[in-house]
Structure formats: C-alpha cells, structure tokens
C-alpha cells in the first residue's frame, strides 16, 4: 500500500468486529478512520476509542444511506477504503421469519453496502485507487451449505454476489473482496464463540490495505481464499 495517507469509512464501527477493524486500521498510522454508526453518540464513542472521526450513517434505508455517504465524502474528503461491516441477524428458518424481517435483513446487509459502493466507488475509480471490503459469512456460502438463519444467509449470499459484480465493474485498481471473519465473540456471535473481535478483524484489515498487486473479486477467511 502506498505511504500516502488514506481515509477509511467503517460501518458498524461502534462495537464488535467493526470496532476492531477501525482500531486495526487506525493503528497503522497512515489511515484516517471514519467510524460510522446509526447513532452519532455511538459513532463518537468509537471515534474516541480509536482516534478517528465519527459519522452518523443509518443503513436501514439504503436510498438515504447512499445520499448520506455522498455527503460524508463531500464533508470529510475522499473515501479511499470502504468496509461494509454493519449487519443485522434475524433468527429463524424459512417458515419462521416474517417477510418484513427478511426484507429488512436484505436492506441492511445487502442493499445498503451496494448503495455505499454506488456512492463511493466512482471516486475511487476516478482516483485509480480504492479498497472495498464486504464483511460476509460462511453462512452465506453455497459451498458451506447456507446453514445459517435464512434471512442472514440469503443476505450474505447476495452480498457475495454484489462483491463479484462490483469487482468486475471497478477493477483492477479498486480492489473489492468479501471476508468471512469466522465465529467471533460479539453481541451477534455470543460469548461461546472461539474467536476474539481482533482475530475476526484480521482478514478485513488485510483486505482493506492490500497492495496494488493484491487480489480482487475474492472471498477470504484467515487471509486464504474460500469457495462461494
């Protein structure tokens, strides 16, 4: 990665894996981190923890999120790194989830990341440098049986499709990849998970700081490619 100072926008940066990603990027010293959360209070707490700058970004309405991302870039300067980390998890199988919850999961986990890529990708393409990381899950991998709750699994599978399509559209100077952090001890993952947030953040941070000859359009766990 060049030594020029970059600016990263991390969604869901107020806790868990998102906070660990923000901390990992900020610790490098050459990246300014914008900590995004739905509520400005939470964004500020995260910014204070990592030495970043807070931004409020509500992903429940992707159309508003897209316009807000444009405003963030106009206000805070060019965004070079986008980490789509924020997500919602609704428990239940195909018959136990309401249509409203299913649509809400898609809005936050899939459509909002697409909206942010639409808002920020053109600038990266024009500047001929960018890194986009979509925090996905093995639960959204067909190769691993799509074993998670249906709304979450479907939304992450769709996010993987967005990753492939965006890499094709924006490449090769804008790297777009998906990361599976594994089972992590967060509010979503629960206390019994085997990995710490820092371990879960390692691959997303690596993908966010890839060199110019790094991969694009891939799905990674522990810095290794995995099947879709």
Contact 140, 155 (CB under 8 A): yes
C-alpha–C-alpha distance, residues 137 and 182, integer Å: 7
Cα three-residue angle 200-120-13, rounded to 5 degrees: 30
Contact 24, 202 (CB under 8 A): yes
- Cis bond before residue 197 (omega within 30° of 0): no
Concerning whether 89 is annotated as a catalytic residue, the answer is: no
Looking at 102, 114, 152, 219, which residue is catalytic? 152
Cα three-residue angle 120-197-28, rounded to 5 degrees: 55
C-alpha–C-alpha distance, residues 104 and 60, integer Å: 7
Catalytic residues: 152
């Amino acid at each position: 990665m060049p030594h020029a100072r970059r600016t990263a926008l991390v969604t869901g940066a107020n806790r868990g894996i998102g906070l660990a990603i923000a901390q990992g990027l900020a610790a490098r010293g050459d990246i300014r981190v914008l900590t995004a959360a739905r509520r400005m209070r939470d964004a500020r707490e995260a910014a204070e923890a990592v030495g970043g700058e807070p931004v409020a970004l509500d992903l429940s309405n992707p159309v508003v999120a897209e316009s807000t991302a444009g405003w963030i870039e106009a206000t805070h300067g060019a965004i070079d790194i986008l980490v789509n980390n924020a997500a919602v998890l609704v428990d239940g199988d195909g018959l136990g989830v309401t249509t409203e919850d299913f649509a809400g999961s898609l809005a936050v986990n899939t459509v909002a990341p697409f909206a942010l890529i639409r808002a920020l990708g053109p600038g990266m393409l024009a500047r001929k440098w960018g890194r986009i990381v979509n925090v996905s899950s093995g639960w959204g991998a067909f190769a691993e049986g799509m074993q998670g709750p249906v709304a979450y699994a479907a939304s992450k599978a769709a996010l993987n499709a967005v990753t492939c399509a965006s890499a094709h559209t924006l490449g090769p100077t804008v790297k777009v990849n998906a990361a599976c952090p594994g089972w992590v001890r967060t509010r979503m993952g629960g206390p019994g998970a085997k990995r710490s947030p820092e371990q879960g953040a390692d691959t997303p941070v690596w993908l966010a700081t890839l060199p110019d000859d790094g991969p694009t359009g891939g799905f990674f766990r522990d810095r290794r490619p995995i099947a879709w």
